[in-house]
Amino acid sequence: MAILMQHELDLLKKELLTLGAEVEERVKQAVQALLTGDRKLAEQVKGGDDQIDNMEIELEEECLKILALHQPVATDLRFIVSVLKINNDLERVADFAVNIADRALDLDSSMKIDCPYDIATMAELVETMLKMALDSLVERDTALARKAIQLDDDVDNLHRENFFRVKEAIRENLESMDGLIYYLSISRYLERMGDLATNIAEDVVYHVDGEIIRHGGIQN
């Protein structure tokens, strides 16, 4: 039984990592589309979301099948539970990439508004978190997962700073308010992506150590 299931688990991990790689790529493309004003690339990110959604559903069905047919326990059970959650988180990350692509289209060159904060730096940080979280899954490396989680504070701080910068910019330039609010939304999307990368890393810790570290674990 174990050998049969092991094959399915290996396949599941491979599929999850494929989804992860796809999602990472979407995030990169969305940010690039935004920074370069590449409408075509933004449309491409939007158009590709169905593929991500389908992958998510297929992965979930795969998990349910393994649960029903093999009734995994211990590390196998924790792995399936983690995959179910990470799968969902990745799909949400891709949705935020679509949101960024949407804002990229809204903020097309005709608006000509400069972003009052450094999008590239924040996006890079979020992409790093996502990469670390997925690498920690591949390597079953909880130390790396915990490092990814720590980076979330930096992302949150950036978002907070961005909020004040955008507020200031609006105050100074009321007629650019629409565009500036779009930029604030983008900061918010990136911040949410950081949260989701954190969730993924937390699920890796659960899978490997069996420890739920979310919300600081159960409070006594």
Partner 1 sequence: MTDIRIENPIIQVNNLKFYYPGNARALHGIDLSFPEKQVTALIGPSGCGKSTLIRCFNRMNDLIDGCRVEGEVILEGENIYSKNTDIIELRRKAGMVFQKSNPFPKSIYENVIYGLRIAGEKDKKLFAERVETSLKAAALWDEVKDRLQESALGLSGGQMQRLCIARAIAVNPKVILMDEPCSALDPKSTARVEETIKELRNEYTIIIVTHNMQQAARVSDYTAFLFEGNLIEFGVTDQLFVKPQNEQTEDYITGRFG
Applying CB under 8 A, which of residues 20, 48, 72, 179 lies at the interface with partner 1? 72
> How many whole angstroms separate alpha carbon 179 and alpha carbon 177?
6
> If binding is defined by CB under 8 A, does position 78 make contact with partner 1?
yes
> If binding is defined by CB under 8 A, does position 77 make contact with partner 1?
yes
> How many whole angstroms separate alpha carbon 32 and alpha carbon 57?
27
> How many whole angstroms separate alpha carbon 12 and alpha carbon 164?
43
What binding mask, one character per residue, do residues 2-41 give for partner 1 by CB under 8 A, x or -? Answer: x--xx-----------------------------------
> If binding is defined by CB under 8 A, does position 73 make contact with partner 1?
yes
Q: Of 65-73, 108-116, 155-163, 180-188, which part binds partner 1 (CB under 8 A)?
A: 65-73
Residue 66: CB minimum distance to partner 1, A: 13
Residue 64: CB minimum distance to partner 1, A: 17
Residue 203: CB minimum distance to partner 1, A: 14
Site size toward partner 1 (CB under 8 A) is 13
> If binding is defined by CB under 8 A, does position 142 make contact with partner 1?
no
Q: Which is nearer to partner 1, 5 or 177 (CB)?
A: 5
Q: Which of 14, 149, 5, 20 is nearest to 86 (CA)?
A: 20
Applying CB under 8 A, which of residues 50, 68, 74, 219 lies at the interface with partner 1? 74
What binding mask, one character per residue, do residues 199-218 give for partner 1 by CB under 8 A, x or -? Answer: -----------x--------
Q: Which is nearer to partner 1, 70 or 192 (CB)?
A: 70
Binding site for partner 1 (CB under 8 A): 1-2, 5-6, 71-78, 210
